[in-house]
């Protein structure tokens, strides 16, 4: 960069920092309200399933070192730089072993760390924050049962603390924790499918196009994203559009794709980064897979 560009970048960052520091101060409070109280072991069993389908296992495990589940180190290349997932095993020194339930909830519901700093949205809390409290608590209980791994997490983003403050600013513009209320006019399967798609499995994080500041454009919900902000590749349209989307896929086609990554024409996306999705969808129970299909079939075609 030319010296003038450096000065400009410095000024912009200073302004961002000043604004961000002005905004800061209020720590979000965890939302722990839940209607279903269950024993920790029952919760943990449910949490195991949720951690699989929500991608916690997949994103937080280094694919090159599969025995160290949840110990972090997986790399994500995005247009905003390269990020690594942290260790979320219950190791007390390098993982989240000392985290209280409240701290875990604030991380997932608001994208804020126990120290009060802001997570990069590559950790898809924009969607995961819509998960029901009891589901997040189930994952919390499950995480305590995972074997602890001593492995230091890599610090993300340039060392400058300003970047995390810039995230805070971004969150002001782009993030609200959305609660998904069931639609009484739809079937239980449809409602379950929507909850899976929008909260737990966060399909829109990759499949919904983003505007220039990286906010999902829900007017073009699931219509495919070629901004390359999230992945270093284009992500296809999965609306019911018969040409650009998956409108011609039958229920059987979808089920086969979830189970094997095979498309109707026999090609596969298994070994792609799409594996992020594939490694989660193949864990779906039959009922949940059916619910997700019912919901996807109801998504209006993109225009």
Closer by beta carbon to ligand HEC, 17 or else 163: 163
Where does this chain bind ligand HEC (CB under 6 A)?
Answer: 51, 54-56, 59-60, 76, 83, 85-86, 88, 96, 107, 113, 119-120, 122-124, 128, 139, 153, 156, 197, 201-203, 205-207, 231, 233, 235-236, 238, 246, 257, 263, 269, 272-274, 276-277, 281, 296
Closer by beta carbon to ligand HEC, 272 or else 287: 272
Nearest to 109 by CA among 133, 87, 90, 85: 133
Q: Minimum Å distance from CB 184 to ligand HEC?
A: 24
- Positive or negative, the CA dihedral 121, 122, 125, 131 is positive
Q: Minimum Å distance from CB 8 to ligand HEC?
A: 26
Closer by beta carbon to ligand HEC, 38 or else 78: 78
Which class for 7: exposed (0-12), middle (13-18), buried (19 or more C-beta within 10 A)?
exposed
CA distance 192 to 201: 12
Closer by beta carbon to ligand HEC, 8 or else 178: 178
Closer by beta carbon to ligand HEC, 137 or else 197: 197
Q: Minimum Å distance from CB 222 to ligand HEC?
A: 8
Closer by beta carbon to ligand HEC, 203 or else 294: 203
Q: Minimum Å distance from CB 6 to ligand HEC?
A: 25
Q: Minimum Å distance from CB 198 to ligand HEC?
A: 9
Q: Minimum Å distance from CB 201 to ligand HEC?
A: 4
Output 293-296 pairs: Cβ under 8 A, ≥24 positions apart.
Answer: 293/193, 293/251, 293/254, 293/255, 294/187, 294/189, 294/190, 294/193, 295/189, 295/190, 295/192, 295/193, 295/194, 295/196, 295/197, 296/193, 296/197, 296/238, 296/240, 296/246, 296/254
Closer by beta carbon to ligand HEC, 6 or else 27: 27
Q: Minimum Å distance from CB 4 to ligand HEC?
A: 31
Q: Minimum Å distance from CB 3 to ligand HEC?
A: 31
Residue 226: partners with Cβ closer than 8 Å, 6 or more residues away: 209, 234, 235
Residue 85: partners with Cβ closer than 8 Å, 6 or more residues away: 59, 60, 72, 73, 74, 76, 123, 153
The count of other CB atoms within 10 Å of the CB of residue 55 is 21
Closer by beta carbon to ligand HEC, 123 or else 175: 123
CB 123 within 8 A of CB 109: no
């Amino acid at each position: 960069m030319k010296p003038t560009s450096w000065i400009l970048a410095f000024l912009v960052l200073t302004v961002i920092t000043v604004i961000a520091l002005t905004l800061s101060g209020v720590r979000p409070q965890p939302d722990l309200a839940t209607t279903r109280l269950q024993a920790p072991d029952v919760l943990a069993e449910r949490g195991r399933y949720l951690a699989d389908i929500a991608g916690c296992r997949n994103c937080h495990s280094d694919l090159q070192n599969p025995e160290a589940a949840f110990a972090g180190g997986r790399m994500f290349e995005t247009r905003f730089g390269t990020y690594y997932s942290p260790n979320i095993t219950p190791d007390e020194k390098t993982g989240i072993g000392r985290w209280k339930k409240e701290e875990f909830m604030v991380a997932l519901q608001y994208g804020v760390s126990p120290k009060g700093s802001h997570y990069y949205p590559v950790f898809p809390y924009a969607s995961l924050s819509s998960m029901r409290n009891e589901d997040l608590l189930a994952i919390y209980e499950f995480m305590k049962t995972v074997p602890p791994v001593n492995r230091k997490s890599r610090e993300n983003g340039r060392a400058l603390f300003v970047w995390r403050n810039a995230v805070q600013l971004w969150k002001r513009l782009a993030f609200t924790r959305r609660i998904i209320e069931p639609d009484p006019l739809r079937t239980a399967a449809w409602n379950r499918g929507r909850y899976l798609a929008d909260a737990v499995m966060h399909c829109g994080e990759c499949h919904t196009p983003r505007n220039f500041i990286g906010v999902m454009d829900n007017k073009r919900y699931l219509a495919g994203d070629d901004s390359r902000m999230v992945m270093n590749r284009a992500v296809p349209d999965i609306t019911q559009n018969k040409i650009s989307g998956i409108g011609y896929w039958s229920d059987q086609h979808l089920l086969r794709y979830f189970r094997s990554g095979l498309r109707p024409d026999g090609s596969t996306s298994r070994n792609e980064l799409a594996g992020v999705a594939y490694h989660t969808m193949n864990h779906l129970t039959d009922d949940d897979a059916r619910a997700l299909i019912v919901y996807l079939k109801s998504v209006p075609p993109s225009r």
